[in-house]
Structure 1
Amino acid sequence: MAPDHRSPKDIGEHARELHRKGIDATNSGHPVRGARLLRAALRLLDRPAPADGTLVARVLSTLGGVEVVLGNSDHGFELLDAAEEMPLAPGDRGALRQQRGLALILVGRMTDALACFDEAIPLLRRSGEPVALARALLNRALLHQTAGRVRLALADLDACAEIARAHGAVDGLPRTLAKALQGRGQAKVLTGDIPGALRDFSAAAEVYAEHGEGMLAPLAVDKGRALLAAGLPSEAAAELDLALARFPRLRMDQEHAEAELTRARAALAAGDLAGARRWAGRARRRFRRRGNDTWAEVAALTLLRADFTAGGRMKPVAVDAAELATRLTRLGLRNDAETAKLLAARANIAHAEPDAARAALEDRALPGGPLANRLLRYLARAELAWSTGDRRTTLAQARAGLKALEAYRNGFGSLDLRTGVASLGRDLAKTGLTAAWATGSPEVVFRWLERSRAQAFGIQQVHRPDGETADAVAELRQLAGEIRAAELDGTSAAEARRRCTELERRIRARGWEAEGAALQVSRATYRGVREELSKRDSVLIGFLADKDRFRAMVIDGRRASLLDLGDATVVSEALMRLQSDLNAVCGRTLPPALERVIRASVRRQVGVLAQELITPLLPELGDADVVVVPTGVLSIVPWGLLGPLRGRPVTVAPSPSAWLALSTAPAPETSDHAAVLAVAGPGLEHAASEAGRVAKVYPRAEVLAGNDATIEATSKALAEYDSVHLAAHGHHEQENVLFSRLDLADGPLMAYDVQLLESVPAHVVLSACDIGQAVVRPGDEILGFTAALLYSGSRTVISSVARVDDGAVVQVMESYHRALARGTVPARALADATCGEVLMPLVCFGR
C-alpha cells in the first residue's frame, strides 16, 4: 500500500466520515456495507501517527455491534471489549454501554443488556448526545416490551420520539423516529390495539421509504405479527413471505430468523402443522448459529405447540413444555413462559393428569399480558373442568373467554379484522358448544349458538375511506376495465393483474387501521326468537358441527329439540360434487349423454344432502316455513333444491340474532306501488330483457341498462331505492372476498364499495352467477358480496350459491317479482318461483 501523506487531522476527518457512513448504512438495513465502511475507518486509524482515542473507541464499538448483527458474535464482543479498555469521557462511555447492550440483545442476553442500558441512559442524558440517547431509549424499550413491561416500553418510546422530533435535523434521527414508531406499534400489538399498531407501522414505513429502505423487511415482520394477533394468518403469511424474500441479501440474520419464526406461527394458526415445524426448525437453527439461545427457546415453544396440535403422545409434550417454561422464566421472557406453562397444563389435561394441570393453572395471569394468553388460560380452565365433569365451570370459563374476545373485537373498525378475530376464540366456542349440548337443554345450546356465531353482525359499520384509499379504488376500477378488454381481445394483462393485486392489498391494509366503536352487542333471547317464530309460523334450524358429524337445534313457538345428523365428510363431498355439477350444466348446450349423467349426479347429491341433513328433522318441521342458521360448508347449500324443502319457504340467516333483528325491522313496501330499480349489466345475453320484464311488474320502476348502468348511477340508486334488482355478471373472489364484484358498464361494483354506502336497499336481488357464495371464517363469520349487503343493512338478499342459467332465470325472476307485488314475503315468493326448476340454486338470505 502506498504511504498516506495526509495529516493526522485529515485522516481523522476521513475516518469520521467513514464511521458516519457505516452507521448510516447499517441503520438503513445494509449491515454488510456498513461493516465494510467501518473496517476501512479502523484501518485508517490503525497507524503509527497519534490517533483520536475517542474516535477509535467509537469505531471499534460500532463495528463490534455490526459484527454481532452479521453473526460474528465472538469477534464483535472482542471489539467491544477493546473499545471499553480505552480512556473515555462519561458521554462516550455511555455510548459504548448502549452499543454493548444492543449487541447483548442480539445474542439473547436480555438481563445483561438491560443493565447496560440502565447505566448508559443517565450518562448520555448528562453528556447531551441526542442521537445516542434516543437509540438507548429505543433499545431499552425493546427489552421492556420483550419482558412484557409494556407501560415502561411505551414511556421509553415516547421519550425517544420526542428527542427525535426535537432534533430532527441531526443525522440518523429520522430513522430513530421511525424505529420508535415501529416499537410503539409492537407494544400496541401486545395491548390489543391492532388498528393503532398498524397506523404506527404505516407511519414508520413512510420514513423508512426515504431514510432506510432496508428496514421495510423487519417492519413487514411486525405487521405480520399484528395480523396474526387479529386472527388473519393467511394475510400475515403473505406479508412475511415478502419480507423473507428480501432478508438473504440484507444479511440481517437475527431479523431473518425472527421472520421465519413468525412465519411458523402463521402456519400453525392456519392449521399447517408441517409448515409450522419446518419454519420453526429453520428459525431455531439460525438462532443457534448466532449463539442466541434465548430466541432458540422461543422457537422451541412453537415446535411444541405444533406437537400439541397434532395430538398423539401428550405426556412428553407436557414434560417438555413445563421444562421450557422454567427456562423461559429464567431468561426473563414472562409472556412466552406463561404460554409454555398453559401449554403444559392443556397437555396434562389431554393426558388425563388433572392434578398436574391444576397446579400449572394456580398462578395468576400476568397483568397486561397478551390477549392470546388470557384466552388460552380460560380455555385450559374450561378443559380442566370438562375433564372432571364440571359442566357449569366449563361453560363459565368459556363464556368469560368469549366475553374478553368480544371487548377486543369492538376496537376494530375493519369488517375484515372483526370477522378474522373470531378465530382466536375458536377452541373456546367449540368447548362451550360441546358442554352446552351435553346439558340436553335447547335453551342452553341456543345461548351458545348466539355467543359463537357471526358476532360481527352486532357491531356498527364504519364508513368513509380516506383520500388515499379512494384513489387506490379508482385505479383498481380502471385496471379492471383494462383486464376485461384484454380478456375480450385474447391478450395478456399480466402487469395490470399484478398492480390490481398490489392495490387490493393496500386497500385492505388501510381498512385494517380503522378504529371501531365500543358498542354493547345486543343478542337475541331464546324467548324473543321463539315468539317471533310463532308469529311467522316458522321453525328455526341451527346447525352445528361436532367432530365428524353435524347436529341441529330445532326450535319453534311450541317446542325445541336437539338432534344428531349425518356424517360431515359425506355431506361435504356431496356438496362439492353438487356445486361442480350445477356449474358444469349452467347455461351450456352439452351432449345429451353428458347432460343426462350430470343431471343424474345432481339428483344423487341432492338426495344425499336431504337424507343427511333434513330427513331426520322432518317430524320437527311440520309444514312450517324454515329459517336456517348454517355452519361452515353448509353456507353454500341450495336448500330449495332439496326434496323435503322444495316449494317450502326457506330463509338463511347468519345467526338467530341477525334473523330477529332483520325480521323486526320496519318492512319495505313490496306491493305493486313499491319504487323498484332494475339494473342490466354488460355481457349477459338476457339481462336487458330480464330488467325490462321486472320493471313492468311495478308502475314506479326505473331501469339502468347499457351505458346508463354505471357504478356511480347504481351506487346512488342503491342508497335511494328500497328494492333493487341487479341482473349483472358476478364474481366471487375466494382469496380476497372484499373485492367480490358485479360487472357494470364502466367497471366493477365491489363488496368493498357496498360497505361504504351510508344506506342500502332493504331488498336486493342478485340474479346472475354465484354471488351468493361466501368465505366462512371461524365463528361462522361470513364475507362476500351478499354478506356485505347484509352487514350494511339489507333485510333480504336473493342470490345464488352456484352459477345460474341467465336465460332460465328470466321467467323465474318475473314470477318472483309478481308474487312480491301481490304482497307475498320474499322466501315464499322465491319458493313458488323456483319450485319447478331443478337447477336453480337461488337462496333467500336475511329474513
Structure 2
Amino acid sequence: MSTAEGSEIHERAARLHGLAVAATDDGHPGLAARRLRQGLALLRWETGAPPDAGDPERAVLLARLLTSLAHAEAEQGHSARGTELLDEAQRWAPPAELAIVQGQRGLMYLRTGRTAEALELLDLAVPRLARGVELARVLLNRSVIHLMTGKVRLARADARRSAELARALGHEVLEAKAQHNDGYCDLLLGDIPTALAVFGEVEGAYRRVNPGFLPVLALDQARALLAAGLADEAGRTLDGALDGFRKQRLMQDYAEAELARAQAALHAGRFAEARAWARRAEDRFRRRRSPAWALRAELMRLRAEFAGAPRLGPPRLGPPRLGPPRPGSRGAPDQGGRPGSGGVLDQGVWPGSGGAPDHGGRPGPVARKAVDLAARCAELGLRDESETAALLATRALVAAGNLAEAEALWSGIAPLVRPGSRDAPLEVRLMRRLAEAELAGARGLRGQALRRVRSGLALIHAHRGRLGSLDMQTGVTALGSDLAAAGLAAALANGSARLVFEWSERCRAQAFRFPPIRPQHDEPTAEAMAELRHLAQQLHAGEAAARRDPEIRRRCLELERLIRERGWQLPGVRESLAPVSTGAVEAELAAAGLALVSLLNVQGRLLALVLGAGRCRLLELGAYAPLAEAVQRLTGDLNARAGRNLRPNLAAVIDASLRRQLATIADGLLAPLLPSLAGADGIVVVPTMALSAIPWGALPGLVGKPVVAAPSAQVWAAAQRARLTGVADGEPPLLVAGPNLTAVEPEIEQLATLYPKARRLTGSAATVAATLEALDGASIAHLAAHGHHERENVLFSRLVLSDGPLMAHDVQRLRTAPRHVVLSACDIGRLVVRPGDELLGFTAALLYMGTPTVVSSVAKVPDETAIAIMAAYHRHLALGLSPAGALAGASASASASAGESLSTFVCFGAG
C-alpha cells in the first residue's frame, strides 16, 4: 500500500470515527457501532492481532475506534463485548492515549453501577488529559458519579468546569449536557423549580443540536415531577422516554426508565403494575451485568410487594403501607456520555385513594427479603439503598406483628441511619421518621410516634415551601401520605377526639397554608395562553357544529403542557401561615352558631369529627366505598337529567335512581350525624375524596339548612374571618354573561333589577381581559357562562366568554381576590381531590387566591333551575342573609316550586 493510499484510508477511518461519536452524542449507538466497524474494517483490524509499532497513526486510530465501539456495544446491552473491546483498545493505545481508554472504562463502570471503580479511573484520567474535548467529557462523566453518591458540590464543580471547556471549544452538545447535570444538582438539593427551569433551557439546546438526547432529559424531568408528587404526569413523560429509548436501542436508559415507571405506578397506588415494571427493569439490569442497578430494581419490587401486602391480625384503624424510597440520583454523562443513575421519590397512599391491597407478598417474607437485600446493597456501597431496605424490613416486621424481631433489627440499624444528617435524600429521611413512628406506635409509645410523624411532616412542609406552582404544592402532599396516616392512626389509638381533629387538620389541604403566588408577566406563557384561548374558541365552535379537529385538540394539549411546565418553574415563598388552633375554630363556630363536620376515610372506614357547642365527638359512620359509589352515580344521574328533553320513561328511571342515591348518602352519612348537629343554625362540612362532589343542599335532612363546604377547618376559619372583617361591600356587583346560553339574558336582567348600579359585561364586552379586570377585588361577582371542568388538566377548567375561555390558570393573575363569586352554569364547582384532600379546579383556584365565598354547582344544572335558584339567592342576600343561608333558602324554594328539581349548588369557603 502506498503512502498516499494509507493516508486516505486513515482519513476515511478518522472521518467515520467522528461521525460515530456524533451519533453516540445524539443517542444512536447502533448507528455509531456500524460506522465504527466500517472504520475498523478499513484499517484491517483483527481481534488479538499484535499492535503494529511501525504505523503509530494506525495504532492511535484503532485505539480510538475500539474505545468508542466498546461504549456503543455496552449502550446496546452488550457489556461483556464492550469490556473485551476496551481490553483490545488498551493493547493498541500508545501511552498518550491511555487516559482516554481509562476514561471510557470508567464510563462503562459508571453505567453498570460500579461507581467506586469508575471514580478511581476517572480521577486518574483527569490530570493526564489536555484541556480539550476529552477532558470535558471525563469531567462530565465524573460529575455524574458525584451526583450518584450525593456529592452535589463536587458534581456541580465538575459540570461547570466541563461546560466552560465545551463553550471555549464551541462544543454545544457537551455544553448542553454539562448544563443538564448542573440542573440535576438543583434537583438533588430539592430546588425543583430551578431544576425544571434549567431542564427547559437544555431542552431547547437538545432540540437544536442533539435531539437524540431528549428522552434522557425526559427521564430526568419525570424524576423531578415525582419529587413533587405528580405521579401521573411523570408516568406520561416516562412513556414518551421509553418509546425513544427503545427506538434508539439505549438499553441502560430503557431499564432506568422502566424502574422510574415502577416508581410512578407505586406512587399512584397501582402496586401490581409497579411490581411488573420493577421486575422487567431488574431482569434487564441483570442481563446487562449491572448488579447495583439490579439491586435498586429489586428494592423497588419489594416496596411494591409490601405496599400491596395483606395485613395480618384483626382489622385496625391505621395507615396503608408503602415501601421505602428511591435509589440514587443522576444527570447526563457523555461518551460521550449517557446518563448514569437514577430513581424517584416515594409517595404514600392517602386512605381511600385507590391504594387498596392487591395481594402482593405478605409482610413477613418481605421483611426477610429486605434484610438480605440491605446486606447486599451495603456490600456494593449503596448506602441509601441499604438503609432503605433495612427500614423496609423494620416496617414489614411491625406490619406482620413481629415486634420483637422488629426491635432487634432496629437496634442493629439505628446507629447506621444517620438521624441528624442532611446529606441523605428527602425520601430516606422521611422513611426514617415513618419507621420510627410505626415502631413506637407498635410499642404503645403514641407520644413518641406523633413526634416522629410531626418531624417528617415538617420536612414535607419545608419542601412544599420551595414550590411556587399550585399544581406542585398540592401534589407534594402525597409524599407524606404514609406519615399522615401513621399520625392519624396514633391519634385514633389515643382515643381523644380533639387529638384526632388536630391531626386531621395537620394532614389535609396543606397547600392552603401558603400565600398565593402571583406570577410575574412571562412572555412565552402569555403567548401560549393567547394561542390556547384562540384555539379553544375554534374547538368549541367546531364541537357545537358537530365538527372535530384532532389537530387543534393536539395543539391545545401541547400548549397546556407548555404553560404547566412554565408554572412548575415558579419558586416558592417558603413562609406559611401558622396552623389554626382547635380553640380558634370553636370560637368562630360559636360566633356563627354553626357546627363543623370533618370527614375522614381511614382504611375504607368513614369517620366523622363533629365540633360545636363546646364538644368534639368522633363517630364511625360505616364503609366509605358504598357512599363514594353513590356519589358517583348521583353525579352521573344529575348530569344526564340536566338540559335534555328525555323520554318520560327514561326520565322516570333517572329520577328513581336520583332518589335512591340521595337516600343512600343520607342514610349512610347524615342519619348518624344529625343527632349531634341538633341546635346548630348551620353546618360546615369538610368532606374527603369523592364526597367532595356531594350537593349538600339536596340531601334529605339538609334541604333548607345552611351548609358550607370547606377544604379544612383552617380554610373555613380564615375565610370566615375574611368575609366578616374585610372591607365593607361598597362597590357595585359585577354581572357577566357568557355566549351561547339561551337563558343568560333573562338571568342577568333579573339580577340587574336587584343591583341597578351593577357593572354588566354582556355580549362582545364579556371578554377575558375585561372580566379579569372587573373581578379584581370585586365585592360580588356573578358569572353566568358555560363552564367545563377539565379533569386531566385541572388548571385549565374554564368559563367560556366572548373571546375564548377564562381558565383557572388566569385566576392567579388577580392582584386582589374577589370577595364573593357566584358561578351559575354547568359543573364548574367540581373538584379534583388529590391525596391529603388537596383540591384543584376553577372553584378551588378562587379559594386559593383568597376569595372567602364561592357558590358553584357540582353537577350540570338545567337552565330553568339555575335561573330560579340564582334569582332567589340574590334576593335572600339583599335581605341580609349569609351566603349559605341565602343558598339554602333559594334551593328550598326552587325545589318546592319545581317539584323534582334539585339544587346542585354548593357554598364553598365561608358561609
The TM-score range, normalised by the shorter chain, is over 0.9
Residue of structure 1 in register with 2:353 after alignment:
none
RMSD: 1.9
| Aligned counterpart in structure 2 of residue 97 of structure 1, from 96, 102, 105 | 102
| Aligned counterpart in structure 2 of residue 835 of structure 1, from 886, 892, 898 | 892
Residue of structure 1 in register with 2:236 after alignment:
238
Q: 1:71, CA displacement in angstroms?
A: 2.1
Residues 1:78 and 2:73 are matched in the alignment:
no
Moved more, 473-482 or 487-496: 487-496
Q: Distance in 1 between matches of 2:474 and 2:777?
A: 28
Residue of structure 1 in register with 2:198 after alignment:
200
Residues 1:558 and 2:621 are matched in the alignment:
no
Q: 1:75, CA displacement in angstroms?
A: 2.4
| Aligned counterpart in structure 2 of residue 411 of structure 1, from 466, 474, 479 | 466
- Helix, strand or coil for the counterpart of 2:516? coil
- Helix, strand or coil for the counterpart of 1:756? coil
Residues 1:608 and 2:664 are matched in the alignment:
yes
| Aligned counterpart in structure 2 of residue 132 of structure 1, from 124, 131, 134 | 134
Q: Note the alpha carbon deviations across 1:34-58, whole angstroms, 9 max, x for none.
A: 1222222223333898351333222
Q: Distance in 1 between matches of 2:552 and 2:750?
A: 38
Residue type of the alignment partner of 1:647: G
Q: 1:613, CA displacement in angstroms?
A: 1.3
Q: Distance in 1 between matches of 2:273 and 2:840?
A: 26
Q: 1:446, CA displacement in angstroms?
A: 2.4
Residue of structure 1 in register with 2:555 after alignment:
499
Which runs of structure 2 are paired with 1:190-269 in the superposition (5 Å)? 190-269=188-267
Residue of structure 2 in register with 1:658 after alignment:
715
Moved more, 418-427 or 829-838: 829-838
TM-score (norm 2): 0.89
Q: Distance in 2 between matches of 1:520 and 1:489?
A: 48
- Helix, strand or coil for the counterpart of 1:623? coil
Residue type of the alignment partner of 1:391: R
Q: Percent identity?
A: 47
| Aligned counterpart in structure 1 of residue 125 of structure 2, from 106, 120, 123 | 120
Moved more, 678-687 or 61-70: 61-70
Residue of structure 1 in register with 2:147 after alignment:
145
Q: Does the CA-based 8 Å contact 1:587-1:807 persist in structure 2?
A: no
Residue of structure 2 in register with 1:364 after alignment:
417
Q: Distance in 1 between matches of 2:589 and 2:406?
A: 45
Q: Note the alpha carbon deviations across 1:726-776, whole angstroms, 9 max, x for none.
A: 111110011110110011111111111112222231100001111111000
Q: Distance in 2 between matches of 1:318 and 1:700?
A: 71
Q: 1:323, CA displacement in angstroms?
A: 1.1
Q: 1:291, CA displacement in angstroms?
A: 1.9
Residue of structure 1 in register with 2:783 after alignment:
726
Q: Does the CA-based 8 Å contact 2:183-2:194 persist in structure 1?
A: yes
Q: Distance in 2 between matches of 1:539 and 1:587?
A: 35
Residues 1:396 and 2:398 are matched in the alignment:
no
Q: Does the CA-based 8 Å contact 2:723-2:852 persist in structure 1?
A: no
Q: Does the CA-based 8 Å contact 1:146-1:333 persist in structure 2?
A: no
Residue type of the alignment partner of 2:579: R
- Helix, strand or coil for the counterpart of 2:617? strand
Q: Distance in 2 between matches of 1:669 and 1:367?
A: 43
Residues 1:425 and 2:480 are matched in the alignment:
yes
Residue type of the alignment partner of 2:675: P
Moved more, 667-676 or 23-32: 667-676
Moved more, 417-426 or 112-121: 112-121
Residue of structure 1 in register with 2:363 after alignment:
314
- Helix, strand or coil for the counterpart of 1:94? helix
Residue of structure 1 in register with 2:316 after alignment:
none
- Helix, strand or coil for the counterpart of 1:332? coil
Residue of structure 2 in register with 1:66 after alignment:
72
Residue of structure 2 in register with 1:479 after alignment:
535
Residues 1:379 and 2:434 are matched in the alignment:
yes
Residue of structure 2 in register with 1:816 after alignment:
873
Residues 1:761 and 2:810 are matched in the alignment:
no
Moved more, 666-675 or 181-190: 666-675
Q: Distance in 1 between matches of 2:15 and 2:777?
A: 66
Q: Note the alpha carbon deviations across 1:522-549, whole angstroms, 9 max, x for none.
A: 2111111111111111111111111122
Q: 1:693, CA displacement in angstroms?
A: 1.0
- Helix, strand or coil for the counterpart of 1:700? coil
Q: Distance in 1 between matches of 2:234 and 2:444?
A: 38
Q: Does the CA-based 8 Å contact 1:676-1:695 persist in structure 2?
A: no
Q: 1:479, CA displacement in angstroms?
A: 0.9
Q: 1:791, CA displacement in angstroms?
A: 0.5
Q: 1:666, CA displacement in angstroms?
A: 5.3
Q: 1:196, CA displacement in angstroms?
A: 1.7
Residue ranges of structure 1 left out of the alignment (5+ in a row): none
Q: Note the alpha carbon deviations across 1:102-149, whole angstroms, 9 max, x for none.
A: 11222332222111111111212xxx2321112111111212222233
Moved more, 264-273 or 106-115: 106-115
Q: 1:379, CA displacement in angstroms?
A: 0.9
Q: Does the CA-based 8 Å contact 1:194-1:513 persist in structure 2?
A: yes
Q: 1:432, CA displacement in angstroms?
A: 0.9
Q: Distance in 2 between matches of 1:635 and 1:817?
A: 25
Q: Distance in 2 between matches of 1:720 and 1:316?
A: 60
Residue ranges of structure 2 left out of the alignment (5+ in a row): 46-51, 311-361, 896-900
Q: Note the alpha carbon deviations across 1:543-601, whole angstroms, 9 max, x for none.
A: 11111221111112422211111321221121112111111111323233332332232
Which runs of structure 2 are paired with 1:688-703 in the superposition (5 Å)? 688-703=745-760
Q: Distance in 2 between matches of 1:809 and 1:629?
A: 25
Q: Distance in 2 between matches of 1:272 and 1:11?
A: 57
Moved more, 781-790 or 281-290: 281-290
TM-score (norm 1): 0.96
Q: Distance in 2 between matches of 1:183 and 1:370?
A: 17
Residues 1:326 and 2:375 are matched in the alignment:
yes
Q: 1:672, CA displacement in angstroms?
A: 9.5
Q: Distance in 1 between matches of 2:297 and 2:506?
A: 34
